[in-house]
Every structure is written in C-alpha cells, then in structure tokens.
Chains A and B, each alone.
Chain A
Amino acid sequence: MELAYDSIVCVKQVPDTSNITGEAMTPEGTVNRAALPAVFNPEDLNALEAALELRDQHGGTVTAITMGPPVASEVLRECLYRGADRAVLITDRRAAASDTLATSYILSRAVETIGRYDFIFCGRQAIDGDTAQVGPQLAEKLGIAQVTYFERMVELNNRTARVRRNVGNGWEILEAELPLLFTVTDLANEPRPPGARRVMRYKRARTMDGVRRDVVAAMPNADEQQQEAEWAKRLESLKMGQLLLEQWDLDKVKADLRWCGVTGSPTKVHRVQSIVLTKEGHTEVSPTEAGIREMVHELIEDRTFG
C-alpha cells in the first residue's frame, strides 16, 4: 500500500541582505533592518519545494510554520500560493531576541503542537545570519535524526528513507527511519512560482492580528467598539472561506518561558561594527610597460614571486 506523508516546513522572513544600500545604514553605522525589503529566505523556498514534490508524488500534507513579528505572515501567504495546505504563524513579544537555541526550542514546541509529522524541511540557513544552526538544533530538541544539505530523496519505502546529501567535496547517501529533519540547500531543486489561481484564492488570507491592522487602517476614525465589530465580522468571513491563518503564541505551544527570548538565549551580542572601507593607501602602478615592469621588479626583489 502506498503511504502518504505529512511534512512541516519551517520558513523565515528575512531582510534582503544581498542588496544593502547606503540608506539601510543608520548614522551609527549599524544596519537598519526596517529600511531593508523583507523577503522569503531563499533556501526556505527550496525546503518548501522539496516538501511539495514529496506530496505531489506520495500524497499527504504540507504545513508551513514561521516564527516572527505579525508581518511575517507574508511568507505564509507565499507558501499557500505555492501549494502549502496549512500555515501557522508563531508570534509573541516574549520570543523577541531569541538566538538559534531559543528559536529552535520554540519551533520544537510548535511542531509538537501540530503533532503528527513524518518529515520536517528547513532551509539550510537564513541570509540574515547564515548560521545554519536552527535545523540541527530543532532536530535535537525533537529527538529525531537530521540530514543536512539535503539534495534529493533517493528512495522512500514505507517508513524508511534514503537520502542523498551534498557535502561540498562530494556526496553521501544516508538511510534512516522516519521521522526525519532535512536542511535543504539551493542545489536541491528549482522552487516553483506561485500558482495564479492560488494567489487569487489566498491573497486575502490573514492572521487575527493582520485583520486587526486592516480594520484600523480601513476605519481610522471609527471608535473602538465599531472597530471591534468590524474585526469580528471580518474574522468570521475569513473563517468561512478558510482564509484565517493560524496564529499561535508561546502559551498556545506550551513553551517554557525560561527557554525563550532573551533568557533562553545563551549568546549575547557584545558589539556590532559596520564594515567601513579603510583606504590605507596602496602603491599606484601606472598601466604602462614601464610601470608594470617596476612592480614586477619589486615583487621579485621582495621574493613574493618566490
């Protein structure tokens, strides 16, 4: 009998660090996150694609989860556009300033709250920190095995998976029983674009807080009571249309607050320096035969050419 598999994909909204311009720097020389466009972390799209391909082949479900401020629900809509079945936002002020250890703990609580799963897919790393730590730490917290640098599923036989992973200077094939956590790199696949019909359907999808923001923006002069009524009305209509994104806080996932946020994070940022180009000055060599001959001469004299 062919089995269907349930997957959870962890995604993150990140500031687009690949295009940092002068405007994104504060006068103190630090990066102003708010001034950067927020994007879907690139390798999380590869993770989502791997999960969707698995579902296309074997059936089952794909649930996307993200942790972040309310605005991070944008990436959940992106997941729905591409084919995710369910999307959950974990948002809580008490989770702010979590390092990778605290983040993986909170995600593990969210995964346990979802309950049943066969696979967890994470992007290898996020472009704002490039740590590649949350995937393995989440696997450890859940007490399951991890396969990092996932390239493709070689074979999936009932509850046993064979996976090929890329280790840079080669590859290996690992075999293990489910459940398993994979971290996926950009070599694994080509993420699919959003489906036009799914965009039409899910562009209205909102979290509870998202609806509240919409209401305040739509009726800025209304009193609180009117806004509440409108909010309730909109919530009801989203629920009917199955467009209400789930929004969980730390209480909902039964997280122990000692392991969350600042108190749960052993690493502290001591200082941050922006990279300033230092013009220490170099010898200018004229692009002429004489100039270059002189430089070559010097490099031979000081034995640089060896």
Chain B
Amino acid sequence: MIEPNRDGDVWVFAEQEDKTVNDVSLELCGRARQLADQLGVGMAAVLPGWNGRELSHRLIAHGADKVYHVDDKQLEHYRTLPYARVMCQLISKHKPQIVIYGATAVGRDLAPRVASEMRAGLTADCTALEIGDYLDPRSKIEHKNLMLQIRPAFGGNIIATIVNFDRWPQMATVREGVMPLGEDDPRRSGEIVDEKVEYNDFDSAVRLIERHREKRAVNLKAARIIVTGGGGVGSKENFQLIRNLAGVLGGAVGASRAAVDSGFIDKAHQVGQTGTTVRPALYIACGVSGAVQHRAGMEESAKIVAINRDSEAPIFSVAHYGIVGDLNKVIPMMIQAIRERA
C-alpha cells in the first residue's frame, strides 16, 4: 500500500508479446503523457520482458520520459505471478500516483492481482481518463487533480466516473483503441532504467506448457475503411454484399453482435463493446440498428455512413450521412457510384 502523493509519476504498463509492443500500450503512453503534463510530473513505462530492451525506444517515442526495463527469462511470456511481482515491487519503490494498463487479456488478468496486493483502487475498462477535482460528500474535503476514470457500466447503459483518493496508486485498465495511437516521434528522448526484481518460489508456481497464437486474420484496428453488416443483412449469403462494398473500397469487413450471433459471420469481425473498438477514417454501417454497445465501439470514426430501413434506428444518432432505405438496393448503387468515380 502506498500513501497518496502529489509528485509521483504517471505510469503505463507496457505489454509486449513476441518482441512487439502492443498498440494499446503506445496509445496509453500518448494519453499518459498528456495527464503527466497536466499534473506537472514525469511519465514512465514499465517494460517487463526477456531480451527486449530495444522496445523501450518505441515507448519513449510515444511519450515516456523513463522506461523501467526488467529483463528476466521468466518474463519472456506473460504469466500472472512474476509480472505482478514486478509491478508491485516497482510501485512500492517509486510510488507512482497513477498506473494504467491496457484492458487486454493480459491487463485484465494482471491489474486486479496488483491492485489487490497493493490494496489500491482499480477501475476496469475505461474509455476516457481525465484530471479533475472531487468533493468527498462524507468529509466535505475537496481532492484536487485526481484521475477521473470514466467507463460504461450496466451493459453500456450508463457512464460512470470513478475516483480513488485515499489509497494509491490510482489504477485503471483502458479499452484498446479508444485513445488515439500517435505517430512514433523519434526526436523524443528518455532514459532506460534497468531494474532488478526479487522473485520468490511462489512466483514460478504456474508453468507455461504450451502456447498458441493465431494471427489476426481480420485486422479491424488497422483498417482505414470498415464496412459493417448488422442483423438487417438478413443471411450469411447476403453478407457477400457487405464484402463486395468493402472490396471496392479496399476496406475491412465488420459485423455487429446481432450479425455474429445469427451466424452470418465470424466473431473476429465484431465491432463494439465485446468486440473490437475501431476509429477508421470511414465507417459504413449497413443494417446495423446501433445498440449502445455497438456505438461505443465505433462512434469515434472520422466519418460514419449509416444505411437502415428504420429511420428511428439509433445508429443515425452518430452518423454523418444517413440513408433510410433497403441496403439490398442502396449498396449496389454505392458500388456503382464508386466504380464510376474510380
């Protein structure tokens, strides 16, 4: 447990896999940099791994003043206990005021373990982080410059802002893709600090026997243009229409939960709160009603085109262009119009 402090840095847990830094860690560095500047403190990333010291430079290029690098054979692949040991020891030693993690399979396994050991507060799956003040209604004490942890709750029907002020660090996991991923800035400089961590026998209690990773066949996050089909597409066969439109635009194929649940397309294509969060240059939603869980995963797209027969569909509330009509007629017309212009 560490006491609240005002001069601690803002930290990001840097997640690496197979010698690559996860994009979400870079997204978080960008946001953490801004939070640190607002607070007037430094920003550091913690990078546990094995033979991956050079990854520090990417974290620095995304805003880290410091990278605490921990190099150990048992940190090569993520396992809860040794990684939790690294985080808890470094937090106790350097006393950051904020620690944020990507809300990935790794981050959501690690952060609660660390929070429990540090007896610190943790908010899951945030979609925004801000600095702000909080008036405690019990003590009437105003706490200045806390991290406001903003997240959807109740199945996405409400947005809650969470704070913690009496036990630090303030910790949160942040959903992938909600913070913009900046460009690498090679002019930035920072310090790499090599840290040694003391492990105990229990830290190696869980052994990794076998590990299998699938290449992401569908890379929604990297797509500039995404064409998404929803329940309104009607059938698996008819999804070809969505693929065709994506094809002429050189875009990726997305799907709403309704389309995935109906078996029209594989879950890897799902956009939304339980799927992938995306922010492409153009998002075309075809036959998607636009449940709040779906909108949460795409509303940051630069341009949104919505096609739906129901003029009251919630998807129109986030659209820039709305077409009320039958997608079976509208999509072929769009393909035709795009081909004419190309």
Chain A residues at the B interface, C-beta cutoff of 8 Å: 15, 17-18, 20, 30-31, 99-101, 104, 127-137, 139-141, 143, 145-149, 162, 167-177, 265-275, 277-280, 282-289, 291-293, 295-297, 299-300, 302, 304-306
* Known A-B contacts A130-B124, A170-B214, A295-B305; A270 and B112 likewise in contact (beta carbons under 8 Å): no
Asked if A297 and B341 sit within 8 Å, CB to CB, the answer is: yes
| B13 lies within 8 A of chain A by Cβ | no
Task: Report yes or no: B115 in contact with A133, Cβ–Cβ below 8 A.
Answer: yes
B87 to chain A, nearest CB (A): 12
Known: A173-B209, A305-B282. A285 touches B214 (CB 8 A): no
With A169-B214, A267-B123, A278-B317 known to touch, is A176 a contact of B323 (CB < 8 Å)? Answer: no
26 examples of A-B residue contacts, CB within 8 angstroms: A15-B154, A31-B158, A132-B108, A132-B112, A147-B206, A148-B80, A148-B105, A148-B108, A162-B209, A170-B211, A170-B212, A173-B210, A174-B79, A175-B206, A177-B205, A266-B121, A269-B160, A270-B162, A273-B158, A274-B157, A274-B159, A287-B333, A295-B305, A302-B303, A304-B282, A305-B249
- How far, in angstroms, from A257 to B123 measured CA to CA in the complex? 22
A17 to chain B, nearest CB (A): 3
Question: How far apart are B74's CB and chain A's nearest CB, in angstroms?
Answer: 14
Which residues of the other chain, B, contact A100 by a CB distance below 8 angstroms? 112, 122
B338 beta carbon closer than 8 Å to chain A: yes
9 smallest CB-CB distances across A and B, nearest first, come from A287-B325, A17-B155, A266-B121, A140-B116, A170-B213, A131-B124, A137-B116, A136-B112, A133-B112
Cβ–Cβ contact A137 & B112, under 8 A: yes
Distance in angstroms between the alpha carbons of A38 and B161 in the assembled complex: 24
* Nearest opposing residue in chain B for A16, CB measure: B155
Determine the residue in chain B with the shortest Cβ distance to A277.
Answer: B317
Please report which residues of chain B, range 131-164, place their CB below 8 angstroms from some CB of chain A when the two chains form the complex.
134, 136, 148-149, 152-164
Cβ of B197 under 8 Å from chain A: no
Report the interface size for chain B: residues with CB under 8 A from the other chain. Answer: 84
Instruction: Report chain A residues within 8 Å CB of B160.
Output: 269, 271-273
B322 touches A141 (CB 8 A): no
At the interface, yes or no: B224 with Cβ under 8 Å from chain A?
Answer: yes
User: Measured between alpha carbons, how far is A217 from B23 in the docked complex, in Å?
Assistant: 58
B contact residues around A139 at 8 Å (CB): 113
Give complex CA distance A30, B153 in Å: 11
Q: Is the interface of A mostly helix, strand, loop or mixed?
A: mixed
Kindly provide the distance from the CB of B103 to the nearest chain A CB, expressed in whole angstroms: 9
Give the contacts of B296-321 with A (CB-CB under 8 A): 302-303, 305-306, 314, 316-317, 319-321
Known: A174-B207, A272-B159, A305-B249. A282 touches B320 (CB 8 A): yes
Which of chain A's residues have a CB closer than 8 A to the CB of B109? 136, 146, 148-149
Interface positions, chain B 191-236, Cβ under 8 Å from A, are: 202, 205-214, 216, 224-225
Complex CA–CA separation, A269 to B329 (angstroms): 48
B75 within 8 A of A: no
- In the assembled complex, which residues on chain B have CB atoms less than 8 Å from the CB atom of A305? 225, 249, 282, 338
- B residues less than 8 Å from A168 (CB atoms): 104-105
CB of B249, distance to nearest CB on chain A (Å): 7
- Residues of A within 8 Å of B125, CB to CB, are 130-131
Alpha-carbon distance A133/B172, docked complex (angstroms): 11
Once bound together, how far apart are the Cα atoms of A302 and B303, in whole Å?
Answer: 10
Q: B208 contacts which of A132, A148, A172, A273 (Cβ < 8 Å)? A: A172
| Smallest CB separation, A173 vs chain B (Å) | 4
| B336 is an interface residue with CB less than 8 A from chain A | yes
Assembly CA distance A143 to B117 (angstroms): 10
Is the CB–CB distance between A274 and B158 below 8 Å? yes
Give the nearest-CB partner of B159 in chain A: A273
A128-B336 Cα distance, complex, nearest whole Å: 45
- Closest CB-CB distance, B340 to chain A, in whole Å? 8
A268 and B333 within 8 A (CB): no
Bound-state CA distance A177–B329 (Å) is 60
Residues of A within 8 A of B134 (CB): 268, 270
A303 closest partner in B (C-beta): B281
Q: Give chain B nearest CB distance to A52 CB in angstroms.
A: 24
Q: Are A304 and B209 in contact (CB under 8 A)?
A: no
Q: Are B337 and A289 interface neighbours, CB within 8 A?
A: yes
CA distance A20 to B337 in the complex (A): 40
Known contacts: A136-B80, A170-B213, A282-B320. The answer to whether A20 contacts B162 by CB under 8 A is no
- B329: chain A residues at CB < 8 Å are 287
A140–B112 Cα distance when bound, in Å, is: 9
B333/A292 in contact, CB under 8 A? yes
Asked if residues A104 and B116 are in contact (CB atoms below 8 Å), the reply is yes
**CB < 8 Å: which of A141, A146, A269 contacts B80?**
A146
B322 touching A284, Cβ below 8 Å: yes
Contact of B326 among A137, A287, A291, A306 (CB under 8 A): A287
